[in-house]
Amino acid sequence: MGQRFRYSRWDGTQRGFDLDADALLNQINDEIIHHGDVNAALRRIMQQGMRDRNGEQVQGLREALERLRERRRELREQGQFDGELGELAAELADIVDEERLAIDQDEQRATESGDERRSEIARDAAARRRLQLDALPDNLAQRIDSLRHHDFQSPDAQRRFEQLVDRLRQQLLDQHVQQVSSAVENMTPEQMARMKDMMAALNAMLERHERGEDPQFEQFMNEFGDFFPENPQTLNELLELMARRMAAARALYNSMSPEQRAQMQALSDQLLEDMDLRWQIDQLGERLQAAFPNLGWDDDSGLEGDTPMPFGDALRAAQDLHDLDELERFLRDASSPAALREVDLDKVRQLLGDVTAESIDHLARLTDTLREAGLIDQREGRTELTPRALRAVGKNALNELFGRLERDTLGQHRIERTGSGHERAHETKGYEYGDP
């Protein structure tokens, strides 16, 4: 299913361009004279843009598409999502080094004490702990699992490890719930309980919808609407919103290497005790993929930068890249100003900025501007100039023609009266045979 765009009318509060019908007609005047095709003239304006009567440039679709491509490059080069596995591995290695140092120091203190029994016990304990550390697997998930059962010598190393595990558990949980809602981060136990209630209510609503019953969407949004700040107005909008987030999250995981994906899965299996919530989210994902199969579920994110990105930032970037791809296809396919009415201007403003959004809004209203001014009629799919417009086009053509004639003839022939282009002589000469 392709994306549906919503068109919002200009409300007069935005900074805009000063464009009127006469200025527009003047800019398409030549093309109408040469080709007689109003639609072709409007398509040219759509592509190339125009200036309003104050000289402000209204972007055309070519410039908008160039801005779109520039924004895509910026997003792609921001960074990439690797599950922060590299940072986790580095921090874990530092914790292990701290533990090894504590083992060495404890053994040394026991040896320096002169107590043979204490020294022997310390050596045995140190040997056992070193053996455990030497046997740690290279795989990050397995290494974390082994350290969870390690008898730490260093209280500081143990504290750092427990904090790392708690932080990683929170990150993995956020990665799951952010696939469904953009309003959740660093979930508290209370939020977790409410998230479960929301998922249960959502699944119940979907089951009612599939049975042909009233899904009770309004009741659901009244209770759980804070999970969806985008404020969807229908059940289908809600499902498409979640499908887009899940497809973007899938694209992030698709961008990871098979080894990285396997490690992320193993970490999730190991650290996320609430398997029921994970199962509900996974089931919802399968359901949404079946309902919205054309959202690029098998694509990668397109992120190509070198800087690791947190999941939330990477998810937003992946969504923006997908939205840019869809907007690009839409703008390329737009063949008339009326087609641009379907664009979600708020989305364009978010992705490309105010100037591009306002320009597209003006391009979408080109036909309306001329029609409301009484310059064109639309009948049976054809756009024709009205008599008033024809008179204006003819007047413009004659003005230009006589302007050229006047410029071309200035000073190019003899006359008996003085005028511009001649020195004042205060006399005239009658014509005689043979004069040029």
What tokens were used for 94? 């530092």
User: What digits encode the pLDDT tens for the residues 347-382?
Assistant: 999 999 999 999 999 888 888 877 777 777 777 667
Higher-confidence position of 72 and 274: 72
pLDDT number for residue 16: 46
Burial of 339 (0-12, 13-18, 19+ CB in 10 A): middle
Mean pLDDT, to the nearest integer, of 57-79? 92
Q: How far apart are CA 249 and CA 280, in angstroms?
A: 16
| 275 vs 119, higher pLDDT | 119
**Which segments of 359-430 are extended strands (E)?**
376-379, 382-385
Q: Which residue has the higher pLDDT, 213 or 416?
A: 213
Contact 295, 243 (CB under 8 A): yes
pLDDT number for residue 34? 60
> Which of the four pLDDT bands, split at 50, 70 and 90, describes residue 41?
confident
Is this prediction's pTM over 0.75?
Answer: no
Residue 163 reports pLDDT greater than 90: yes
The percentage of the chain sitting over the pLDDT mark of 70, rounded to a whole number, equals 80
Is pLDDT of 223 > 70?
A: yes
Question: What's residue 237's pLDDT?
Answer: 92
Can you spell out the DSSP letters for 120-137? Answer: HHHHHHHHHHHHHHHT--
Mean pLDDT (whole number) for 97-117: 88
174-190 in b/e burial notation, b at 16+ Cβ within 10 A? bbbbbbbbbebeebeee
Give residue 414's pLDDT: 58
Segment 92-110 mean pLDDT: 92
pLDDT band at 13 (very low <50, low <70, confident <90, very high): very low
How much is the pLDDT for 329? 92
What's the confidence (pLDDT) of residue 425?
54
pLDDT in tens, 263-274: 888 888 888 766
